[in-house]
């Protein structure tokens, strides 16, 4: 099947990396389903041919909402070939010492970043299994590999996503479903600005200085890896976590 006849779901697509992923897939000829809790108008306006794409509301922490999203995508396009699990809590989180993290915020972080990723996977797996093909790309973070301090809830949630990716890749390989993961460093997005707040410039400078390639990452620097993992060029790659971090850690 040609790439330009394929359909992809991108969650968390109202802004930032998710929005960039959606636009990049469209430029490659994919039919794109962008999903988020709200705020998808700008993303849809960025498509050259918006009638070829679809915006759907979703709360990834709610399995019924996720199942409705998947059903809507299949109803519109007949099949879903790839899922990009980008939705997650990041900018809205409050950093701090491990013992001071608010329990309710911890639970919400796990509900969205971990359970939300699982919900999207378990909603799409039966469909991909029935067609004996599919690619799932989960989004983790450099934080999970580096062990980012003062953000234990976020770091823990993204480490869980890496473990989930590996287990699913083992389980779903016999159905020709590939599951991979990307782990970006801090990228210049609204979420990063919100997370670092008043110390954004200082923190981004420290991030860049830790890289082998000393250049701050923009959204367009990440999309190529996602396109690769979702497409046929990576048809025998599964269970992998690819660092998109300017050469901060080497796996």
Decide if 154 is catalytic.
yes
Helix (H) or strand (E) holding 145: helix 142-146
Q: Are 177 and 128 in contact (CB under 8 A)?
A: yes
List 21, 150, 154, 228, catalytic entry: 154
Q: Is 194 left (phi over 0), alpha (psi -120 to 50) or beta?
A: alpha
Task: Report the alpha-carbon distance of residue 226 to residue 96 in Å, rounded.
Answer: 31
Q: Which token pair is 27?
A: 């430029």
Question: Which pairing describes strands 54-57 and 31-36: parallel, antiparallel, or unpaired?
Answer: parallel
* Cβ count within 10 A of residue 5: 12
Catalytic amino acids?
Answer: 154
């Amino acid at each position: 099947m040609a790439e330009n006849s394929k359909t992809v779901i991108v969650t968390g697509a109202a802004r930032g990396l998710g929005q960039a992923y959606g636009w990049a897939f469209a430029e490659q000829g994919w039919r794109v389903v962008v999903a988020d809790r709200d705020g998808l108008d700008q993303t849809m306006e960025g498509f050259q041919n918006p009638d070829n794409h679809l915006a759907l509301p979703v709360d990834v922490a709610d399995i019924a909402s996720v199942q409705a999203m998947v059903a809507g995508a299949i109803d519109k396009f007949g099949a879903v070939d790839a899922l990009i699990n980008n939705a997650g809590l990041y900018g809205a989180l409050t950093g701090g010492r491990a013992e001071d993290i608010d329990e309710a915020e911890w639970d919400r972080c796990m509900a969205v970043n971990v359970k939300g990723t699982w919900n999207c996977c378990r909603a799409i797996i039966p469909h991909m299994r029935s067609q004996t093909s599919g690619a799932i790309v989960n989004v983790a973070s450099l934080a999970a590999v580096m062990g980012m301090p003062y953000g234990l809830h976020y770091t823990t949630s993204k480490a869980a996503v890496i473990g989930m990716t590996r287990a699913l890749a083992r389980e779903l390989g016999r159905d020709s479903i590939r599951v991979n993961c990307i782990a970006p460093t801090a990228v210049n997005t609204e979420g990063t600005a919100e997370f670092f707040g008043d110390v954004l410039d200082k923190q981004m400078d420290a991030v860049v200085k830790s890289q082998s390639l000393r250049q701050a990452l923009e959204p367009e620097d990440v999309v190529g890896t996602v396109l690769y993992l979702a497409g046929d060029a990576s048809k025998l790659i599964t269970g992998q976590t690819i660092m998109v971090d300017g050469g901060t850690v080497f796996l």
